[in-house]
Amino acid sequence: MGISFQEKSLWLSMVALIVSFGLYLIAVLPARSDFVLPSQAVLFALVVVLVVITQIAGNVVITIIDRRTETDERDRLIELMGARNGGYVLATGVFFALCTALVTPGNFAFTHLLLGFWVLAQLTEIGSQLFLYRRGA
């Protein structure tokens, strides 16, 4: 069974997220400040731009190679199931981030815990979809 357009696009998103935000977190997390520094905010903006550009360029290339980009009811169902799983992780992250905001000074810990869980939620969503596609669901 070959890899569909959707699966290729999901793999691209997953790699882009891991590489971009992985590099960002490696660069920023050793900092021991209470507040997010302006340089960190700029780096975050650059990472978001990098992710967007990678996704657009990658999807264009995949579309040119694959030529079959249509989706159907099964794709939509898998997308919904993935979004549900990602939603659970994000809700958990918001809860922990709020708890962190109550007990830690500044916005650094709160912001990065929230960001970390958002990335984890995205990876859960994508990973769930890839699992369902591979299982043949």
Partner 1 sequence: MGKSGGRITNEIRTLRFHRGEMTQQELADRIGVTRQTVNAIEGNKYSPSLEVAFRIARVFDVSLERVFRYSEPENSGKQRASAEDQAAGPIPLGTRPSARTE
By C-beta, is 75 or 79 nearer to partner 1? 75
Residue among 26, 65, 70, 102 that touches partner 1 (CB under 8 A): 70
Task: Determine the Cα angle at 12 with ends 6 and 136, to 5°.
Answer: 35
Residues 103-122 that bind partner 1 (CB under 8 A): none
Distances (CA, A) of 95 to 58, 85, 88, 98, 126: 34, 16, 11, 5, 22
Residue among 31, 77, 98, 99 that touches partner 1 (CB under 8 A): 77
Residue among 108, 110, 118, 133 that touches partner 1 (CB under 8 A): 133
133, 101 in Cβ contact below 8 A? Answer: no
Residue among 26, 30, 32, 135 that touches partner 1 (CB under 8 A): 135
Binding-site size for partner 1 (CB under 8 A) equals: 14
Residues 9-68 that bind partner 1 (CB under 8 A): 68
State yes or no: residue 137 binds partner 1 (CB under 8 A): yes
State yes or no: residue 75 binds partner 1 (CB under 8 A): yes
> CB count, 10 Å around CB of 59?
17
| CA distance linking residue 20 with residue 54, whole number of Å | 10
